[in-house]
Amino acid sequence: MYTRKPGISFQAWLIRGLGLGAGLALVLAWVTTTGCTQGPAAIERPTRALSTSGWNLRLADAPAHPQSATFNGLYRPGEPLLIPAGTAFFLEPNGGVLPLSITPESAWIAQGGGLDLAANAAQVLAGRAPRVPGSYRIDWKDPHFAPRQGSVRVLVLEAAEAKTTNDRRTRLSAGGKSLGWYLDPAQAPVARIKENAARYVPPAYFTTLTDETAGLPLGEDLDLGQIVAFMDHRDANGRKVFTTQRHTQALPPNRELFNKLNLLRERLRRKGVKVTRFWITSGFRTPDYNKQIGGAAYSRHCFGDAVDLCIDEDGDRHMDDLNGDGKIDRNDGIVIGRACAELEAEGLVVPGGIGVYEWDGEDSVRSHVHVDCRGYAVRWGQAARGRGKTAFDWWSAETPRDVEAGEASE
């Protein structure tokens, strides 16, 4: 595949990558959209219609960053597209060939975005995201079959501001607010972190949660707003108080995590577990907040690809009795942990940490499961009895394990 070199314009890159004829045609389409059009006029040309299988997205000139690579690929119907601000991209509906009318909302054009049909054999849409981060809508319809219409939501992401010190710590800011310090993985006390340093690069792109974007679906029964940690606390009597107050409105979206959660819920349902919606007790944490609550220095929560979750269908703020033994304990969390491990073993999701926790406090969730996408398999179990903690094994002997300091905590 042709790689765009520094200093080569986007138009020249397209011509080289697609061939002279197709490339020139695409550039003409590009100019029509970004330089000569007046407002968001509908594009009515033959292209591929959206079926039940969503959209295929490919970023054309995004920087080589582990997070940006996850933005490429097939998006489920209703799942918002993730595109860094100002980034060129190609978009192709994943379905049969039908005529479509594509209409980006006026704000898309007003903020510097472009979208047009590439006049080549592939018949894909070529575009550039607006320069201003935020939530945008692109409407589509079949002009010859009115009931066939819909829209796709695009989250245009903001690039984080990073400042690295001489000791290789990185201070990250998003939305004008500091998030805290990310530590150098080369200095980690755990060998597996050093060996996988590329997975511990600070996130590069963030979205801001608003009343509108918090409810955006990431799949069936999974919303964007669930992925940020809430600020739970203890009351005057020392009892746990659960809240829906987020500690930050910044979030680095991670599609590897979204896919893992969606497939995990589906797998549990096939096993007969009743789960309408995961109760995510903790998601993304800024490094500052993670340090405040005593999280591990290299916690995956700080990278946006980890959650702690329960299944609480009856709303009593405890894990449900998933294995049907009449008790709520670690064995219920193990049901979730083993289902997630199966998905990893089958290669359906990115491998990562799976930790099962058990708590004895009356006001606790009794058991929860940590799930992340760090890129290598780690397993642990931990039971809390009063102020004491003990480790336990719940995974099969052949599962890769690494319980060095820092791995068996969040």
The string of pLDDT tens digits covering residues 160-211 is: 999 999 889 999 999 899 999 999 999 999 999 999 999 999 999 999 999 9
Question: According to the model, what pLDDT value does residue 117 have?
Answer: 63
Give pLDDT, residue 307. 98
Q: Is 159 within 8 Å of 82 (Cβ atoms)?
A: no
Measured distance CA(369)–CA(359) in Å, rounded? 12
pLDDT of the residue at 247: 95
Which residues, at least 6 apart from 53, have a Cβ–Cβ distance to it below 8 Å? 74, 77, 94, 95
**HSE value, Cβ hemisphere, 13 Å, CA-based, for 57:** 31
Residue 138 and residue 231 share a domain = no
CA distance 277 to 348: 21
Of the residues 137, 158, 179, which one is the last residue of a structural domain?
Answer: 158
Task: Say whether both 144 and 217 belong to one domain.
Answer: no
List the chain residues with pLDDT less than 70.
1-52, 62-63, 96-100, 117-123, 143, 145-147, 397-410
pLDDT at 62: 66
How much is the pLDDT for 410? 56
Q: Render 52-88 in DSSP notation, one character per residue.
A: TT-EEEEESS--S-HHHHTTSEEEPTTPPEEEETT-E
**Helix, coil or strand: residue 110:** helix
Structure confidence at residue 399 (pLDDT):
54
Whole-prediction pTM: 0.83
pLDDT of the residue at 9:
45
Q: Are residues 153 and 235 in the same domain?
A: no
Q: Are residues 146 and 260 in the same domain?
A: no
- Residue 396 domain flag: no
Alpha-carbon span 54 to 353, nearest angstrom: 29
Is residue 219 domain-resident?
A: yes
Q: Identify whether 397 is part of a domain.
A: no
Pair (104, 243) in one structural domain? no
Partners of 388 in the β-ladder:
385
Domain around 323: 208-391
Residue 336 CB contacts under 8 Å (≥ 6 apart), including other chains? 264, 268, 309, 311, 322, 356, 369
- Asked if residue 239 and residue 125 are part of one domain, the reply reads no
